[in-house]
Amino acid sequence: MLTMSLVLSLCLAFLCSFVHGSHSLPAQRTLHLDGLLPNGDFEKIPNKSNMRKRQIIGKYSLPHWEISGHVELVSGGPQPGGFYFAVPRGVHAARLGNLASISQYVKVKRGLVYSLTFGVTRTCAQDENIRISVPGQTNELPIQTLFSTNGGDTYAWAFKATSDLVKVTFHNPGVQEDPTCGPIVDAVAIKEILPLRYTKGNLVKNGGFETGPHVFSNFSTGILIPAKIQDLLSPLPGWIVESLKPVKYIDNRHFKVPSGLAAIELVSGRESAIAQIIRTVSGRNYILSFAVGDAHNGCHGSMMVEAFVGKSAFKVAFESNDKGAFKAGRFAFRADSNRTRITFYSGFYHTKLHDFGHFCGPVLDNVRVFLAH
């Protein structure tokens, strides 16, 4: 028979473990949405009876997707007519012909922000675009410029869920003489973007770029973050991509970054800038610090990251030998307002040393602003 003291001890232990478990559940909430959509890599293919050569016949013939118009299931590699289709993350991809679209319903949480990561490459015309939409939100990305020549480009696009079930659609808005012409979509993933918090002692949110879009694990040329003019809700929370060209989000599994999980590669020279508006106290002195380096991705030569803080301008020069090295910049400034804009861009344009069609640039990381003492 259990003694009264032993019973009390067991009850106390059970109660403590229950209380501890109830408190640990929110802290362990890592099961937020982050991964490929169902058949997001298009490796589940239609039945042969639903194929006419490469064209998919039937609205629901592509597993987990709804198709409209001329949609083809293509494989990567050389194609008839001298084309080459880049499908680096698997065997198959979807090609959207004139006015064609693919769509899928996705379970999300109303009011939260999500980012879509997707590989997309033009195949025929210079003026090909891709239109991404969910109910109430649409973005049309120009994909004329190919930033990465070794596997096509990957983009991210963010949206705020207005319901618990959203229809994600990829649409080719163009009409070409060849009705099969259009962009290839080769992988689609989604990630719930968690709310940002300030890091103690740093006025910059997400200064290490640790919060960002989903990164494919098996292959990455980096993820292009569109300019604000094309993407009002950024998949890189805390930051604004200014001007007309994107910046590239790179991760530590596929690139060298100064520290942490991720960084930004400034691949568009002066044509794009990344910025953030921070809270300051007018008249007080602050320190801006950041790291500049190379991604160990074949980008050589003299690099320059230029920073603007309010009316002050700073430059950090960096000579890249493609070894993944970096250097730190540290500058003092005085705030002249209670809101201060910090902006970064690359002073030069760069391509890979042995691949002039592959755009690259300096890496930016560890952006901090703190009070000068």
Q: Do both 174 and 236 map to the same domain?
A: no
Amino acid 291: pLDDT: 97
HSE of 93 in the Cβ direction (CA atoms, 13 Å)? 29
Q: What is the DSSP string of 150-219?
A: TT-EEEEEEEE-SSSEEEEEEE-----SSTT---EEEEEEEEEEPPP-PPTT--STTTT--S-S---SS-
Q: What is the DSSP string of 284-309?
A: -EEEEEEEEE--SSS--EEEEEEEEE
Amino acid 242: pLDDT: 87
pLDDT digits 0-9 by tens, 353-362: 888 889 999 9
Query: Quick check: 215 pLDDT over 70?
Result: yes
Q: How far apart are CA 26 and CA 80, in angstroms?
A: 54
The Cα-based distances of 17 to 7, 30, 33, 65, 205 in angstroms read: 15, 21, 28, 45, 36
- Whether 128 and 183 have beta carbons less than 8 Å apart is answered as yes
Task: Indicate the average pLDDT of the chain.
Answer: 88
Work out the average pLDDT over 132-146.
91
The answer to whether residue 362 sits within a structural domain is yes
Query: Quick check: 329 pLDDT over 60?
Result: yes
Q: How far apart are CA 39 and CA 19, in angstroms?
A: 40
Work out the average pLDDT over 96-125.
94
Amino acid 1: pLDDT: 40
Query: Quick check: 283 pLDDT over 50?
Result: yes
Range of the domain at 344: 223-371
Question: φ and ψ at 284, to 5 degrees?
Answer: -90, 155
Work out the average pLDDT over 119-135.
89
Structure tokens at 77: 């590699």
Q: Which residues of 152-190 are buried (b: 16+ CB within 10 A; e: fewer)?
A: bbbbbbbbbbeeeebebbbbbebebeeebbbbbbbbbbb
Q: Which residues pair with 167 in a beta bridge?
A: 105
- Whether 140 and 172 have beta carbons less than 8 Å apart is answered as no
Query: Quick check: 16 pLDDT over 80?
Result: no
Amino acid 5: pLDDT: 47
The answer to whether residue 4 sits within a structural domain is no
Residue among 269, 261, 264, 210 at smallest CA distance from 245: 269
Amino acid 229: pLDDT: 65
Query: Quick check: 7 pLDDT over 90?
Result: no
Q: Do both 43 and 116 map to the same domain?
A: yes
Q: Do both 178 and 255 map to the same domain?
A: no
Which runs of consecutive H residues, i.e. helices, occur in the chain? 4-27
Residue 82 neighbours by CB under 8 Å, 6+ apart: none
Q: How many structural domains does the chain have?
A: 2
Query: Quick check: 77 pLDDT over 70?
Result: yes
State the CATH number of the domain containing residue 275.
Answer: 2.60.120.260
Work out the average pLDDT over 134-163.
91
Amino acid 17: pLDDT: 37
Q: Do both 184 and 42 map to the same domain?
A: yes
Predicted TM-score (pTM) of this structure: 0.88
The answer to whether residue 6 sits within a structural domain is no
Q: Which residues pair with 203 in a beta bridge?
A: none
Most confident of 72-86, 111-125, 228-242: 111-125
Q: Do both 267 and 341 map to the same domain?
A: yes
Amino acid 227: pLDDT: 87
Q: Do both 330 and 250 map to the same domain?
A: yes
Q: Do both 96 and 229 map to the same domain?
A: no
The answer to whether residue 200 sits within a structural domain is no
The answer to whether residue 20 sits within a structural domain is no
Query: Quick check: 144 pLDDT over 60?
Result: yes
Q: How far apart are CA 30 and CA 50, in angstroms?
A: 39
The answer to whether residue 121 sits within a structural domain is yes
Single-letter code of the amino acid located at 350: H
Q: Which residue has the higher pLDDT, 280 or 21?
A: 280
